[in-house]
Amino acid sequence: MTDLRKALGLAALAGAGALVWARVEAEAFTVRHVTVPVLPSGAAPLRVLHVSDLHLTPSQHRKIAWVRSLAELAPDLVVTTGDNFAHLDALEPLMVALGPLTAFPGVFVMGSNDYFSPLAKNPARYLMPSSRRPQTSVTREPDLPTAAFADRLTGAGWLDLDNARARLRLGDLEVAFAGLDDPHIARDRLPAPNASVTDGADLRLGIVHAPYVRALDALTEDGADAVIAGHTHGGQLCIPGFGALVTNCDLDRGRASGLHGWPGPRPDEFGGHGSAWLHVSNGAGTSPYTPFRIACRPSATLLTFVAR
């Protein structure tokens, strides 16, 4: 009986230690650096800062300071892929966090947590097959200041790509964008073709929050050279040597975060032709009801697009 008590005590101690570490890791913010060989021959590098899944609450002062510090990277472009809110009163804190980044050109799309405030849920539900399917019916009414947030960002000069196209000249490059509203809540509608946006572009980017297969296929078939997405949190709770347990969508676990090819393992040598690069951010936040990460530090990514 004594041995059993010791074993249970050690197990409880180990569990408590893992919980503490998972809480610490959830605030171990980092910047990842990824090179994407996708630009035309001879083109100068393009530095794109990808920020996603902040899930910000007003009390997260350390996260706010870290997001503000990302401006020191001096990117050529900022891309945010949604799920910024984790509180009804997060609009002003979000603008404080993103304020320094609006000094640079930027584009954005929304995620479900830019429309709906978070609810307490059983974390085990993310292990169920139903978590891989989009929510085709949402009975709640949106309760977050989505329109006000979009107005603040567009007022600062950023482009809203929710089911929209746009084009920017960045240095010597003409960059065409196609964006989708969040597939996780079935708001995605591929914008109509627009030759004035796409013709002659040096780089075509697809932007979406949740990397559902149908969204990635649509953007790739539309001609994207690279697709930028978030939503997965990189699995959030990962097992060293195994990786993410879930992606919270129908994307395979092997591409839960980082740079990969779509639909195959990597694009062909020349890009396009039915293949694209895919970058999935593991995000910088968590639900306020599950503020833990294991083997999956929160991050933003500095993507450096270079010549093929």
Q: What is the pLDDT of residues 256-303, one digit of tens each?
A: 999 999 998 777 654 445 799 999 999 999 999 989 999 999 999 999
The secondary element (H helix, E strand) that includes residue 32 is: strand 30-39
Domains identified in the chain, total number: 1
For the segment 116-133, the average pLDDT, to the nearest whole number, is 71
Q: What does the mean pLDDT of the chain come to?
A: 90
Residue 50's domain is classified under what CATH number? Answer: 3.60.21
Does the structure show a pLDDT above 60 at 12? no
The predicted structure's pLDDT at residue 241: 87
Higher per-residue confidence, 270 vs 119: 119
pLDDT bin (cut points 50, 70, 90) of residue 51 is: very high
pLDDT bin (cut points 50, 70, 90) of residue 208 is: very high
For the segment 180-207, the average pLDDT, to the nearest whole number, is 98
The vertex-283 CA angle with 277 and 287, nearest 5°, equals 140
Structure tokens, 268: 């062909």
Least confident of 5-19, 128-142, 225-239: 5-19
Per the structure, the complete domain to which residue 148 belongs is given by 2-307
- Whether the upstream peptide bond of residue 263 has omega within 30° of 0, thus cis, is yes
Does the structure show a pLDDT above 80 at 106? yes
The predicted structure's pLDDT at residue 90: 98
The predicted structure's pLDDT at residue 270: 46
The predicted structure's pLDDT at residue 125: 62
Compute the distance between CA of residue 29 and CA of residue 284 in angstroms, rounded to an integer: 7
Task: Please list, residue by residue across 63-89, b when 16 or more beta carbons sit within 10 angstroms of its beta carbon and e when fewer do.
Answer: bbebbeebbeeebbbbbbbbbbbbbee
Does the structure show a pLDDT above 90 at 140? no
For the segment 106-131, the average pLDDT, to the nearest whole number, is 82
Compute the distance between CA of residue 173 and CA of residue 305 in angstroms, rounded to an integer: 11
Does the structure show a pLDDT above 50 at 61? yes
Compute the distance between CA of residue 302 and CA of residue 73 in angstroms, rounded to an integer: 8
Higher per-residue confidence, 19 vs 178: 178
The tens digit of pLDDT for each residue in 240-259 reads 989 999 999 999 999 999 99
Compute the distance between CA of residue 15 and CA of residue 236 in angstroms, rounded to an integer: 17
